Structure formats: structure tokens, C-alpha cells
Amino acid sequence: ERRFEVSLPHWWVFYFGLQLHFGWITHQFSLFFNILIYSYGQSLAVQIAAAIVTLCGLFLSACFFVYTRRDVSHALVISWALYWTGVNLYNPSNPSPWVQMQMTMPPMPPAAGAPGQAAT
């Protein structure tokens, strides 16, 4: 039994684009979550645990859309993005390009009248 009866043009116009972008956003959220864990200087065990949890979350998200909506575009986008993330991480010339894109802010000057400031 089909759960969603839509025509092929209707699927291409409405469903495919949304599933494509939702798959990409889901992958990017998991990627940036792991980068955040790394940038806060967490231990290797925490980083590996976060990576395993996000990979399981991506897998469950892909399975959910394949099973409930019978739509593989979300799962294909996630698998495509994970493949190219892995290729990029194994690149010996630049194994971790995202880490080099950290924003650094200059130190803030102390506020006037802050404790430890001499009165002028």
C-alpha cells in the first residue's frame, strides 16, 4: 500500500527539492556539531562518542524517511555527503580544513571602572 499518492511531476517539484535540502541540512548539523565538540577541546573519547552518536542519528534519519515516506532522496544525500566528508578527511594535504576556519576574536579591553583598574 502506498502511503503518499502523488504524481511524478508533483514529486519532482515539491518533494525532491525539500528532501534534498533537508538531507543536506541534517548532514551539516551533525558535521558542525562534531566540529564544535573538537573546537572546545574535548577529549578524544568524547569526540569519538559524539561521532558515533551523530552517525547513528544520520542512519536513523535516513531509515526513517525510507521506511515512512518510501523516499530515498534524503538517504542518498546523507550517504553522498558522508562519503565526501570521509574523502576530505583522508586527504593527506589538508586532513581537517574545517578546523582552520575557526573565528578568532581580538581580546576585549577592560571596561572603565572594572575591579583592578586604577582610577584616572
Whole-prediction pTM: 0.66
Model pLDDT for residues 3-54, shown as the tens digit of each residue: 567 788 887 888 888 888 998 999 999 999 998 998 888 898 999 999 999 9
Is the sign of the CA dihedral 77, 79, 59, 85 positive or negative? Answer: negative
Distance CA 93, CA 96 (A): 9
| Contact indicator for 92, 80 with CB cutoff of 8 Å | no
